[in-house]
Amino acid sequence: MERPFEKQTVPCLKRALWQVQDREQTQEVRLGDEMPDIGSILSVRGQCVLRGKEWMGDSVTISGGVMVWAIYVPADGTGQQMIESWIPVQFKGSLSGSQREGSIRCALELRSLDGRTISPRKMMIRGVVSALIEAMEPSDAAVAIPGQLPEDVQLLRRRYPMVLPAEAGEKSFLVDEELTLPAGGEAPEKIWGLQVVPRMDHPSVVGNKTVMRGVLQIHLCYQGVDGQLHSADLEAPFSQFSDLDRDYEKEATVSVTPALTNLEHELQEGKLQIRCGVTAQYVIWDCVMVELIEDAYSVCRTVQPRQEPMELPAILDQCTETIRCEGTVSGSASQVVDAWICHPQPRIRRAGDLYELEVSGTVGVAYLDQSGKLQSGTGSFSQVVEHTASEGSLVIAELAGAAAPVVTVGPEQMDLRLELTVQTRICARDGMTMVTALDLGDQTQPDPGRPSVIMRRSGGRSLWALAKGCGSTVEAISKANGLTEEPTDDAMLLIPVV
């Protein structure tokens, strides 16, 4: 006789898509009539901007682009020139089995950016953009709970604290600041490039709100009033909160992925006026206690449990680590003027219960050579870190921050050192196993002459395994031996006959 269990739903978010895509785009840039012909391209730098996200039934679409600043040396030998451009980019991710619209989280990073001369009046800019795309939709995961069962049926109940994605959303806001360059820096005359990175400082959940404080880390490349190239690092603080759908306990946490959605800038009396649109994309992680029935038996009838995987997107483990990378740039430099970095999202390679986390990218350097002439060069870096994770788990990693590269001048080359912060989550993919039904045989009478058993616990066998194997119950063994928890190894136990 089959006894199916009832279903209890656990509301959470289901991951419909997790993907890292690379997209190569090119753009022809024509000089304005007032600009001198191109002699050589000195450097190309850019800033990724997220423009829009759209959930379209069985797919999601991401649109954005790269703001580009290209510096070149004119053919007539006059001072370097700068030209701005925009490279649009679009990504599309397919959804499988998705039934309703949810939330999209996206992070865009530059993998590489360079330029070449097509003609004296035209250059070709080539950029590779790396996009991390995550789509999550509301879901009601099912947990099987037993109904009325005969008293002789023993159930192995286990309670697990599970960290589940409970809610996702976003908060868009504007940061409008007037910034002064650090004391001692050359006064700016013209902006020749920006890199803006929103950084969150320990976001938190307080009741029905998420609190997000952080700074815009701004790397500025500019031409000073002395006509030379300079760089500076600035910060613009921000503080925001967002209303949530319900109240959360103090165990709840939040992960935030900030994205730059707009960037405007101008110089006013030697100060930088910057206006940045930022979208803080967040996921609330809640700790939920879930009880599972993992096994069943009876001392007086046959019991065949039917087991099925429980599909809950729980986090099994998570960590944030700093990965140190090194590289070199060829060139004999007398002074480093500026350095900028292109770093795509981390890559994961699985091999059984091992996984390799790879971070890589390029660093561009503007420098003065031994004769004082402005030059530029690029160098690459790559680092692989190995970790373990159960073979049935899903490992996802994303870039959480990057420190400014440190460039050291050597006789024939420049040495690079930089640190990248990566957040890794190990998520349940195959699901834990739970009993969803029992096939019960007819009840029989136990043998009244069967004696109790005295045995030594060995091999770390649990009370449940001892009781099931000996035709007793956990309750009877615990009572007979005065136990309140699992016995020690090699303990002598009385196993009563039930």
Q: Token pair 């490349």 is at which residue?
A: 221
498 residues of the chain, pLDDT tens digit each: 889 999 998 899 988 899 999 999 999 999 999 999 999 999 999 999 999 999 988 899 999 999 999 999 999 988 889 999 999 999 999 987 666 688 999 999 999 999 999 999 999 999 999 999 999 999 888 899 998 999 999 999 999 888 999 999 999 999 999 999 887 778 888 999 999 999 998 899 999 999 999 999 999 999 888 888 899 999 999 999 999 999 999 999 999 999 999 999 998 888 899 999 999 999 999 999 999 999 999 999 999 999 988 878 888 888 999 999 999 999 999 999 999 999 888 999 988 889 999 999 999 999 999 999 999 999 999 999 999 988 778 899 999 888 889 999 988 899 999 999 999 999 876 667 899 999 999 988 776 667 778 888 877 788 999 899 888 999 999 999 999 888 888 888 898 877
Handedness of CA 327, 328, 334, 335 (dihedral sign): negative
Q: What is the pLDDT of residue 353?
A: 87
What residues pair up with 421 in beta bridges, in sequence order? 322, 401
Count, residues in the chain: 498
Q: What is the pTM of this model?
A: 0.88
CB-CB contact of 466 with 472 (8 Å): yes
Q: What is the pLDDT of residue 50?
A: 97
What residues pair up with 362 in beta bridges, in sequence order? 342, 380
CB-facing half-sphere around the CA of 184: CA atoms within 13 A = 1
Q: What is the pLDDT of residue 295?
A: 95
Q: State the SS3 of 415-464.
A: EEEEEEEEEEEEEECCCEEEEEEEEECCCCCCCCCCCCEEEECCCCCCHH
Provide the token pair at 471.
């035709």
Q: What is the pLDDT of residue 303?
A: 95
For the chain, give every domain's residue range. Answer: 1-137, 153-298, 309-445, 446-498
Q: What is the pLDDT of residue 79?
A: 85
Nearest to 267 by CA among 337, 196, 187, 208: 187
Q: Which stretches of 257-374 are DSSP H helices?
A: none
CATH 3.10.350 is right for the domain spanning 446-498: yes
Q: What is the pLDDT of residue 313?
A: 81
